[in-house]
Amino acid sequence: MDIRSQLLFFFSALGAFNGIILGLFFLFYVRPKHRSHLFLGLLLLALSVRVGKSVFYYFNYDLADVYIQVGLFACWFIGPLLYFYVKTVLEVTRSASKDMKRQFAVLMLLALVLFLGFPRNDHEGLWTSWLIRLIYLQWVLYVIAAGYYVRKNYPKVQSIKKGMPSFKLWFLSIYIGNAIICIAFNTGNYTSYIVGALSFSFVFYLLALLLLFAKKRNELIFLNVPRDREKRIPVENANVLTERLEDMMMEGQLHKDPDLTLAKVAKKLGVLPNKLSLLLNDNIGVSFPDYLNKKRVAEAKAMIKSNSNYSFEAIGYDCGFNSKSAFYAAFKKHAGTTPSKYRASSHGV
């Protein structure tokens, strides 16, 4: 092997090896945890395995079929993992999570059918014709879908606060880098088979440099820096505190106090205000103002049902609202309708 080939092998293989290390870092070690890190770690591992296969195949054409098939199996998931990474960064709804789980299940089922039902050593003709084209086509389609999703949600990326390290640079580097690698592998027949591996090495070292020189790493790899999950209240303790809070609010009718604050409730509950705030935001999933207004609106709905003669202004003040406008705004938000419409539907008017 001449010096040129040795350098090609070194830089290509080194990128694949380091990609595995970085993938494992995102899977197991990066803090705080975020779902997007799971897909980014798996994406880096899939790319590294695919690139590693390309490197060794380029320099050793006698590579066993099983290794070639492992590389193609990894390639099958590169596009979907990029798409899932983009979605988990920009959208974290339950429906999105369920959609990704369904897609992943279908992809895994198809992969098992393809790779176990048609092993390359028994069906080499299929793999050198349409099966390999199917894998690359699927990769391209998912890259396009991810690009469309980035474009659709680009205002979220643009809304990064001034002074933060550029998440946009990190996020777009991952997407554009993967698009470049996809193009390199799909055009390998017209350029060189090793171009894809070299493209990956280039993209990998760009991402590694961004991580290395980022002053605030969390603000680089998160669109919205999450709370420190290690400070979350354990589920068992949270359940006990939630039950105590509900009993205290109901028995003392604390929501009727228009001057009620988080600090007052925390003092009565016997916890620090920041702990009560964590309980509400992280465990119950609601802010203190919304928690309080939900209680007040529930009380108002009961009063509207029980007596059709009360004025809405009086009901609002009795339930703890300090103005008519605040009562109407909270009622519309938490009841989904206005007090007058709710009264009409409750009394059959």
Final residue before a domain boundary, out of 167, 189, 221? 221
Q: Do 181 and 148 reside in the same domain of the chain? A: yes
Q: What is the mean pLDDT of residues 235-247?
A: 86
Per residue in 112-171, pLDDT tens? 998 888 887 788 788 777 888 889 899 999 999 999 988 887 665 555 444 444 567 777
Q: ∠ at Cα 343 (341, 349), nearest 5°? A: 85
Q: Do 180 and 264 reside in the same domain of the chain? A: no
CATH number for the domain that contains residue 329: 1.10.10.60
The pLDDT of residue 253 is above 80: yes
Burial class (CB in 10 A: 0-12, 13-18, 19+), 12: buried
Residue 278, domain member (yes or no): yes
Final residue before a domain boundary, out of 221, 240, 256? 221
pLDDT on residue 151: 83
pLDDT on residue 177: 84
**What kind and span of H or E run contains 283?**
none
Share of the chain above pLDDT 70, in %: 74
Q: Which two tokens stand for residue 157?
A: 């990326």
pLDDT on residue 202: 66
Q: Do 340 and 208 reside in the same domain of the chain? A: no
**What kind and span of H or E run contains 56?**
helix 35-59
Contact between 192 and 207 (Cβ < 8 Å) = no
More confident residue, 103 or 62: 103
Residue 226, domain member (yes or no): no
Q: Do 204 and 61 reside in the same domain of the chain? A: yes
Q: What is the mean pLDDT of residues 237-246?
A: 88
- Core vs surface per residue 25-37: b (16+ CB within 10 A) or e: ebbeebeeebebb
pLDDT on residue 80: 94
Residue 48, domain member (yes or no): yes
Q: Do 156 and 239 reside in the same domain of the chain? A: no
Q: Do 206 and 299 reside in the same domain of the chain? A: no
Per residue in 299-324, pLDDT tens? 989 888 887 778 888 888 999 998 88
The pLDDT of residue 281 is above 90: no
The pLDDT of residue 340 is above 70: yes
pLDDT grade, residue 101 (50/70/90)? confident
Q: What is the mean pLDDT of residues 275-291?
A: 85
The pLDDT of residue 99 is above 70: yes
pLDDT on residue 348: 59
pLDDT on residue 197: 60
Per residue in 170-217, pLDDT tens? 777 788 888 888 888 888 665 555 566 667 666 766 666 666 555 555
pLDDT grade, residue 226 (50/70/90)? very low
Final residue before a domain boundary, out of 221, 253, 284? 221
Q: ∠ at Cα 299 (294, 300), nearest 5°? A: 95
More confident residue, 236 or 198: 236
Per residue in 19-46, pLDDT tens? 788 888 888 887 667 788 888 889 889 8
More confident residue, 72 or 160: 72
Q: Do 246 and 305 reside in the same domain of the chain? A: yes
pLDDT on residue 227: 46
Contact between 200 and 16 (Cβ < 8 Å) = yes
User: What integer best gives the mean pLDDT of the chain?
Assistant: 79
Q: How many domains does the chain have?
A: 2
Q: Do 191 and 312 reside in the same domain of the chain? A: no
Burial class (CB in 10 A: 0-12, 13-18, 19+), 296: buried
Q: Which two tokens stand for residue 44?
A: 């880096």
Does the N-terminal peptide bond of residue 32 adopt cis geometry, omega within 30 degrees of 0?
A: yes
Q: Do 330 and 283 reside in the same domain of the chain? A: yes
Task: Show the domain range for 139.
Answer: 3-221
